[in-house]
Amino acid sequence: MHDALTHWDSPFINFRDFDFPDGRGHGYRWVQIKRFHLALGSPTDQDLLTALIAHPEFRDTYDGVGVWLEPRHGQWWSDRITPGAYAAVDEASATGIIHTWATGGVPLPPDLDARLHEAVYTPIRQSTHRYVLGALPEDAHHDYGPIHIEFHELVLIDRRLGTLALLVAADD
């Protein structure tokens, strides 16, 4: 089923690469976006979520190791994640999740704010469907999870452009 998605790139935004005002730190925050092209005549959103979960690019613990052969995703066993773990969200909610996490009560450097608007907020706005990964049961954590302080995951489907983006925002 993962042939419904073709991985195209994985832009990474590391907050460490930006100068924060008043000497405040970046909080070891980052955003990774895994972007996929949809096959022609793409299936339903639920089928796309199933294809995403089955895709090799989904097996990433986001700890710098990259894609695993083992079924891990973030701090969870990927085989414990189902399409039902994702809830539909509107544009304002999806943007709010990322904005609240990104700012953490601290103004962002203008160049980071611009980068987030380009790479995160614009795709959220343009998406035809948005999903957020909900809470998973404690036994879904893999053998060394949780490994992130905060972990936010959105799936953005844009049927007009024929794309799906897996957006992970976290801090180490």
- Give the H or E element holding residue 21: none
Average pLDDT estimate for 58-86 = 81
pTM above 0.75, yes or no: yes
Calculate mean pLDDT across residues 8-14: 95
Q: Which two tokens stand for residue 67?
A: 């894609």
Structural domains in the chain? 2-18+32-171 (3.40.1000.50)
What is the rounded average pLDDT of the residues 48-70? 82
What is the H or E stretch that residue 124 is in?
Answer: helix 122-126
- For 151, residues 6+ apart whose C-beta sits below 8 A from its C-beta are 62, 74, 75, 168, 169, 170
For 46-80, give one letter per residue: b (16+ CB within 10 A) or e.
Answer: eebbbbbbbbebbbbbbbeeeebeeebbbbbbbee
Q: What pLDDT score does 123 carry?
A: 98
Q: In the prediction, which pLDDT does 70 show?
A: 72
Per-residue CA distances from 89 to 8, 42, 133 (Å): 25, 21, 10
Place of tokens 């990964």: 133
* The pair of three-digit structure tokens given for residue 169, joined into one six-digit string: 């925002």
pLDDT the model gives residue 160:
93
Q: Which tens digits make up the pLDDT trace of 37-57?
A: 998 886 899 999 999 999 999
